[in-house]
Amino acid sequence: MKRVLIICYYWPPAGGPGVQRWLKFVKYFRDFGVTPIVFAPAGAYYPLQDDSLVAEIPRGVEVIRFPVKEPYRFAKWISGKKTKTISSGIISERNPSILEKLMLYVRGNLFIPDARVGMVKPALEFLHDYLSQTTIDTIITTGPPHSMHLIGLSLRKELEIPWIADFRDPWTTIHYHRSLNLTRSSEKKHKALEKEVLNTADVIVVTSPNTKKEFAAITNKPISVITNGYDVPELLSETTTAGGEIRRIPDPKFTIVHIGSLLSHRNPIVLWKVLSELIESHPKFADNCLIKLVGATGKDVIMSLFEFGLEHYFEDSGYVSHSEAMQLQRNAQILLLVEIDRSETKAIIPGKLFEYLYARRPIIALGPAGSDIEGIIDETRSGRFFNYSEKEQLKEQLLEYFDDYLNDNLNVASENIEKYSRRELTKKMAEIVNNV
């Protein structure tokens, strides 16, 4: 069994999509000849928490909890609300306050590559001692936060232990990078660190083909694409079938359900406009339409819903546990996936897409031309992808789905989704670990 040290920031009780990827790899690694040891912070500032995920940590897995001092905790004394929204990525594009601009400037220019950089030096001191007393065959770092990669970078240089750098998101081309008010000097530092990490790691793992293409222009090191995925519930209950499938309890309304953060940058104005027009022109649609927002929702999104007269047609549930989110996906009539309409988001494949596939409900996705999302939806025949300019096509598809709903025939014949199961994806990751 190869012993791997996984250095991550997001680990239960952290909530949100960032924790899911490596929690699931750790869950299945031992089935494929890999023994995982997890190094994660204690006392971390997680903007989202989900205590139910603690129960998913496999028994017998060693988890090293390393105490950290979080700048976001100190920032809360200035503005708890702003700190939580900024650390969650909720950055208002409509008249950001002076305080918000200042906090973003400090975050972008004084904490490079991110606000967790203070963890690097003390973590290295601890790990040097730890690695002198135990055998580790491979080190894995996962980011963001990309500070975790700086830990791997130093350990690779100093101890020459093979290192895999896993990027759940891009680094300098991520959409919120431009919101950090970076100086020219700070931007150069980000790019220099990114290049050094990419050219020092033995293997790079990314979650999308577009990220692989971006990184291939910076490094000649091997790059593998391992997407995120879905997992089958372990425990049978009144909400699951004998085969482990979540039992569907269909929403009575024509629900359009979005799971996860819907931030200001992702505000799908074209969808709100289409829904407003359909509600005004189709009485039955007006009687049955309901938008469900489950997760953190940006203020700009709520304002837009009111602007388009949809204030009586949506529910804002806030954050729910992962198990609740899976049930809500299964119950939905339509599942909504929204990505920012910018060329740099072509490489972003939200983790929720794969759980949407498992839910087997029709997906409506909005994103930029050339998005990696479109290829997966087309390959699995799980719904429709639209560019933001395709307003009439979007309206036509929604009407088609609504007619199917009225006739109790709203279904989707998804296929080829099994390769996106967490167990199959872990098999691919284990092959990389065993061959590095």
Q: In what order do the strands lie in the sheet with 383-386?
A: 314-318, 289-294, 254-259, 334-338, 363-366, 383-386
pLDDT for 180: 82
Structure tokens at 345: 């988001």
pLDDT for 91: 47
User: Are 2-229+421-435 and 254-418 the same fold in CATH?
Assistant: yes
pLDDT in tens, 41-97: 998 888 888 888 999 999 999 999 999 887 655 544 444 454 444 444 444 455 666
pLDDT for 88: 46
Right CATH for 2-229+421-435 from 3.40.50.2000, 3.10.20.740, 3.90.105.10, 3.40.640.10: 3.40.50.2000
Whether 149 and 157 have beta carbons less than 8 Å apart is answered as no
pLDDT for 177: 80
Q: Which of the 8 DSSP states describes residue 421?
A: B
3-state SS assignment for residue 277: helix
pLDDT for 264: 78
pLDDT for 329: 95
pLDDT for 236: 39
Of the CA atoms within 13 Å of residue 201, those in its CB half-sphere come to 31
Level-2 CATH architecture, domain 254-418? 3-Layer(aba) Sandwich (3.40)
pLDDT for 83: 45
What does the angle CA 180 – CA 181 – CA 187 come to, to the nearest 5 degrees? 85
Domain ranges of the chain: 2-229+421-435, 254-418
Residues with pLDDT less than 70, the chain: 71-97, 233-245
- Cβ neighbors of 127 (< 8 A, separation 6 or more) are 5, 39, 151, 155
Q: How many CB atoms lie within 10 A of CB 236?
A: 13
pLDDT for 175: 78
Q: Model pTM?
A: 0.87
Whether 148 and 142 have beta carbons less than 8 Å apart is answered as yes
Of the CA atoms within 13 Å of residue 48, those in its CB half-sphere come to 25
pLDDT for 240: 57
Q: Is the dihedral of CA 10, 16, 21, 26 positive or negative?
A: positive
pLDDT for 106: 83
Q: How many CB atoms lie within 10 A of CB 351?
A: 20
Distance CA 326, CA 239 (A): 11
